[in-house]
């Protein structure tokens, strides 16, 4: 009895498509990110990715969610329990370095439109937001954590995009680290006259 070819099962098609999308981002940036290109890279039929990603926006949301998870891991690795201004500076450095080391992924995470109702993306962003609020609560116990966390995230995020957009020199990791550390300390030390 012949086995129908239509029952071919990839294994973990969702993960294979996500992996293929991340590889394409590293090679071609967002211009190479399409469901067709992902299918070719994953070695599946052109229609296979549609089983998990109904359109490019859904794929981009999944890629962004994976990027947020990776960013959260990088921040936690920089300092798992930051509780001082120096710790905050180290986390800021990790954030900027992540952007510099993964520019296409970082741009997908923050510059590409993503579905705000995508559960994976929302959950991944919440992890980072909670992490930043935790830092603020520990470093600035008398401050209102939510608006200060927003300000800290916006400040560090702005630094990351200044590096990505070529406004600051990225030729030396030590120079990047020193400049980010100095900027964080300058903001934290500034007080009105």
pLDDT in tens, 106-143: 999 998 776 778 888 888 888 888 989 999 999 899 98
Query: Do 21 and 47 belong to one domain?
Result: yes
- Whole-prediction pTM value? 0.87
The pLDDT of residue 81 is 86
- Total domains present in the chain: 2
Query: Do 67 and 37 belong to one domain?
Result: no
**CATH number reported for the structural domain that contains residue 22 in this entry:** 1.10.10.60
Residue 191 has pLDDT above 90, yes or no: no
Question: Whole domain around residue 38: which residue ranges?
Answer: 11-54
Q: ∠ CA(151), CA(146), CA(106), 5° rounding?
A: 55
Mean pLDDT computed over 153-158 = 96
The pLDDT of residue 189 is 85
Q: Which long-range contacts (CB under 8 A, 24 or more apart) does 138-143 make?
A: 138/81, 138/82, 138/83, 139/82, 139/83, 139/84, 139/85, 139/87, 139/88
- Which value, to the nearest 10 degrees, does the dihedral of the CA atoms of residues 72, 78, 83, 84 take? -130
**pLDDT digits 0-9 by tens, 18-76:** 999 999 998 888 777 889 999 999 999 999 988 888 988 888 889 999 999 999 999 99
Residue 77 has pLDDT above 90, yes or no: yes
The confidence band for 4, taking pLDDT boundaries of 50, 70 and 90, is very low
Distances 10 to 20, 36, 48, 131, 187 between C-alpha atoms, Å: 14, 16, 9, 36, 51
Query: Do 15 and 26 belong to one domain?
Result: yes
Tokens of 48: 């296979």
């Amino acid at each position: 009895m012949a086995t129908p070819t239509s029952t071919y099962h990839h294994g973990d098609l969702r993960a294979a498509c996500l992996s293929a999308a991340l590889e394409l981002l590293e090679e071609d940036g967002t211009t190479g990110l399409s469901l067709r290109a992902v299918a070719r890279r994953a070695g599946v039929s052109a229609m296979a990715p549609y089983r998990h990603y109904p359109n490019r926006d859904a794929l981009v949301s999944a890629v962004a969610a994976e990027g947020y998870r990776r960013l959260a891991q990088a921040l936690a690795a920089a300092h798992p329990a930051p509780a001082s201004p120096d710790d905050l500076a180290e986390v800021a450095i990790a954030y900027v370095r992540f952007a510099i080391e993964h520019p296409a992924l970082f741009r997908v995470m923050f510059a590409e439109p993503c579905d705000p109702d995508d559960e994976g993306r929302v959950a991944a962003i919440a992890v980072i937001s909670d992490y930043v609020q935790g830092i603020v609560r520990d470093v600035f116990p008398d401050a209102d954590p939510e608006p200060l966390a927003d300000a800290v995230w916006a400040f560090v995020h702005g630094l990351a995009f200044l590096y990505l957009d070529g406004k600051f020199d990225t030729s030396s990791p030590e120079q990047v680290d020193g400049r980010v550390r100095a900027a964080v300390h300058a903001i934290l030390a500034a007080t009105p006259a």
